Amino acid sequence: MEIENIFQWTDNYPSFDIIATDISNKELYELYDEEEILGVICINTTQEPEYKTIDWLNKAGNPLIIHRLAINPLFQNKGLAKKLITFAEEYATEKGFDSIRLDAYSGNEKAISLYERLDYIERGKVNFSGRDLPFICYEKILK
């Protein structure tokens, strides 16, 4: 991402410990082809404290949260991020969640465009420590 001047992730985030926790909690899902990992997505119910400032559409519901969506640089621009998001939406529906929430770095135009094409609605912005630009919070109500 840094090659494309997207400084969403830092040396401290996501750390090895964060990813290891995602794996041990069985919250990190991977998309792979034979033995090569093409992409990953973390989904769970953990909302960042900053999310409390957002005027969510689904105020009393049961949201699933998308974290740490990443595509192997060798396989980007092939629709794999959309595939992982579709997986998260299907998972959420099967497990009884009624919405999905996520945040996207405002400097990552590709991610923002993807979420908006997939009918995620901007609900506000939050700032995270160590990042220059805010993150846009999105929500999608599931049927």
Model confidence at 134: pLDDT above 80: yes
How far apart, in Å, do the first and last CA atoms of the chain sit?
Answer: 33
**Domain-located, residue 58:** yes
Instruction: Write out the residue range of the structural domain in which residue 34 sits.
Output: 11-141
Span 17-40, average pLDDT: 89
Q: Contact at 8 Å (CB) between 132 and 105? A: no
Model confidence at 42: pLDDT above 60: yes
**Domain-located, residue 1:** no
Largest CA-CA distance found in the chain, in angstroms, rounded = 42
**Domain-located, residue 116:** yes
Q: What is the pLDDT of residue 143?
A: 79
Number of domains present in the structure of the chain: 1
The model's pTM is 0.86
- Cβ within 8 Å of residue 84, ≥6 positions away: 29, 31, 39, 40, 41, 69, 71
Model confidence at 113: pLDDT above 60: yes
CATH code, 55: 3.40.630.30
**Domain-located, residue 77:** yes
